[in-house]
Structure 1
Amino acid sequence: MKVLLKLGLFYGIIYLFIEESYLNYPEYFPKTKYDFSKNNLSKTKIELGRMLFYDPILSIDSTISCESCHSPYNAFSHTDHRLSHGINDKIGKRNAPPLFNLAWKSSFMRDGAVNHLDMQSLVPITDSLEMGNSLGNLLYKLKKNQKYINMFYEAFGDSTINLDRVLKSISQFELTLISKNSKYDRFRLGEDHFSDQETRGYELFKKNCSNCHEEPMFTNYKFENNSLEINQVLLDSGRFSITKNSNDFMSFEVPSLRNLSYTYPYMHDGRFSNLFEVLKHYSGPKFNYVSLTEKEIIDIISFLLTLNDKEFILNPENKFPVNKLLK
């Protein structure tokens, strides 16, 4: 990592290097956007965040956890339904996005409603269609739980449980969710090669898709209108609902294309069940920028599959903390 070049200049830089050692990623990844100086990573805080992420105690009735909609086996998204599910079987209005490489993001939610990772958890915790909790009740439940009293003491040096510590601990765990071990990444490192079909797909991708899905993160982190018609049931207008700017109508966050095999269905409302449907949309009459034959679509899909990161999906360090949560 680039931080290593600064090792030894002064104590603060050494400390930063130690903290960022939890974030191993390739040199060709861009600079992270998260300010680690305000939330230095530590093993105990990451473990506390992992515990909170998987614990349904965050919801009003202790039935829904973050993992309920963000399964580690689906790149921290869900695939069994198009829209997120909450307490009392309530149905949300959007497909739950995957969670990885969050340190490189500066806005969150599909409409960019949240501008900092530390604040993002507030939305599902308090949303009546998701966890339906109040912040006061959440803190009350945690303060009554001896397991959490002990873990906050281990993480922060005292047993004070407040909202700032809860949110930053969840962020710490989420910041460690880094997808970087796909075939594409091995190709970039010179450790693997593409097949002929994958190579054709890569060239087609660079020609037709890379304006929005920039390498190596495969997103430009912007909000774009991709010619989807508004869902007449959900009436979700995307970024427009936040900015009230007519230019933002039906604009949604450009998602990363990593781990697509694990994150179907696709789009903000899960309207497309497979990648062929997605690319048919982009090569159809409503989307004027791309013209693809079915063979070219198949070649692009072949390349997109090289972005799957099986190591990330199976990494035991980001899974349910059985020994602590069920202890």
Structure 2
Amino acid sequence: MQVKYLVLLILPFFWSCSDNDEVYQNIPLAFEVPSNFPPLVYDLANNPPTEKGFELGKKLFYDGRLSSDGLVSCGFCHIQQDAFTHHGHTVSHGVNNAVGTRNTPSIQNLAYQTSFMYDGATAHLDLQPIIPFTSAVEMNGNFSSAIAMMKADPEYQKLFKIAFTDGEINSENMLKALGQFMVMVTSSNSRFDKYRRKESGGTLTQQELDGYTVFNAKCASCHATDLFTDNSFRNNGLPVNPAVNDVGRYRVTELATDYYKFKVPSLRNIEKTAPYMHDGRLFTLEAVLEHYNSGVVASETLDPILNKKSKLGIPLTETEKSQIIAFLKTLTDNQYLTDKRFSEY
């Protein structure tokens, strides 16, 4: 894999555990920025990923004991084989079978994103876990209870001691560890990536190349760069569900111009992440493209791209739709979907 630059982090940390004087090494993890990716947004210097920090973050990510029912972990809704989404579920499910209002977004390449959640409720990756952790319909967690649980767990005691210079089991280090895990969960080795970097295995068929051409002409203004998102918030013309009336970005900014705007999702691994849209209302890629072709609804905050010359949507022929879908499937990254570094077991 061609690398634009390699972020080399500080020298290894060494810690001695007083119970047996065993010395443990906490090795920094190198973060590689692929040559076809835009620059990082996340400041690695403020929370440099390390071997034990990552291990601790992964343990936290998959630990159901952090939730009020002892069962729902981050990994409950973010399943690796489904690109860390809750495949097949229109909206997220939480403790005691509570049901949310939004579809579970994918965890991938978060270090390149400027904001998180469909409404951009936070702009810092290390703070993002607070939202699902404390949500009454997701994990319904409590920091005091979680910290007490971790302080009583010998494995957590050891990992916190090695992962952080102060060795403290507290909410700050807990969130930093989760941040390190999420930063390292990257997807950059799809067939499309190899095509872009001119690597072995990067051959696209003519139909896929035609789809890439159509995509660049009709989709790439929002799904920009090789991350396939411009990190913006847009109203894409979905009819409002009156039962929920999710106002999107407006809930955060309270600006009338942000009504019904949601974050543009990355299209990486989209073949694996159905159903689609912020509320999971569309179940196939064909349905998504048909929405843009014929289903866009006018409103005051509709993105101008979808209302040109008084014509709503993006006109797509059946051939163009099949070509785009063929191209989108080249964004599936099987290495990321099966990488044991990210898996629970």
Alpha carbons of structure 1 residues 254 and 139: separation in structure 2 relative to 1, 3 Å = same
2:162 is paired with a residue of what secondary structure?
helix
- What is the aligned-residue RMSD (CA, Å)? 1.9
How far apart are residue 215 of structure 1 and its match? 2.1
Per-residue CA distance 1:196-217 (angstroms, 9 max, x = gap): 1111111100000010001211
How far apart are residue 237 of structure 1 and its match? 0.9
Is 1:15 paired with 2:10?
A: yes
Provide the C-alpha distance between the structure 1 equivalents of 2:226 and 2:87, rounded to a whole number of angstroms.
25
Tell me whether 172-181 or 155-164 shows the greater mean CA deviation.
155-164
Matched with 2:309 is none
How far apart are residue 23 of structure 1 and its match? 2.1
Provide the C-alpha distance between the structure 2 equivalents of 1:174 and 1:228, rounded to a whole number of angstroms.
30
Summarize the alignment of residues 102-251 of structure 1 with structure 2, pairs less than 5 Å apart.
Answer: 102-157=110-165, 159-191=167-199, 192-251=202-261
Structure 1 regions of 5+ residues with no counterpart? 8-12, 323-327
How far apart are residue 159 of structure 1 and its match? 4.2
Per-residue CA distance 1:177-197 (angstroms, 9 max, x = gap): 110011111111113222111
Do 1:110 and 1:252's aligned partners in 2 also have CA atoms closer than 8 Å? yes
Is 1:255 paired with 2:265?
A: yes
How far apart are residue 146 of structure 1 and its match? 1.8
Per-residue CA distance 1:229-255 (angstroms, 9 max, x = gap): 111222211001111111111100000
2:203 is paired with a residue of what secondary structure?
coil
How far apart are residue 15 of structure 1 and its match? 2.9
Do 2:233 and 2:264's aligned partners in 1 also have CA atoms closer than 8 Å? yes
Summarize the alignment of residues 247-286 of structure 1 with structure 2, pairs less than 5 Å apart.
Answer: 247-284=257-294, 286=296
One-letter amino acid of the counterpart of residue 171, structure 1: G
| Aligned residue pair count | 314
Do 1:23 and 1:178's aligned partners in 2 also have CA atoms closer than 8 Å? no
Is 1:46 paired with 2:54?
A: yes
Per-residue CA distance 1:125-175 (angstroms, 9 max, x = gap): 110001112221111211122221111112125542011100000010111
Is 1:27 paired with 2:35?
A: yes
Provide the C-alpha distance between the structure 1 equivalents of 2:288 and 2:4, rounded to a whole number of angstroms.
37
Provide the C-alpha distance between the structure 2 equivalents of 1:317 and 1:21, rounded to a whole number of angstroms.
12
Alpha carbons of structure 1 residues 315 and 243: separation in structure 2 relative to 1, 3 Å = same
How far apart are residue 124 of structure 1 and its match? 0.8
Matched with 2:318 is 294
Per-residue CA distance 1:22-41 (angstroms, 9 max, x = gap): 32231121110001111011
Structure 2 regions of 5+ residues with no counterpart? 12-25, 297-305, 307-311
Higher helix share: 1
Identity of aligned residues (%): 39
Higher strand share: 2
Do 1:25 and 1:180's aligned partners in 2 also have CA atoms closer than 8 Å? no
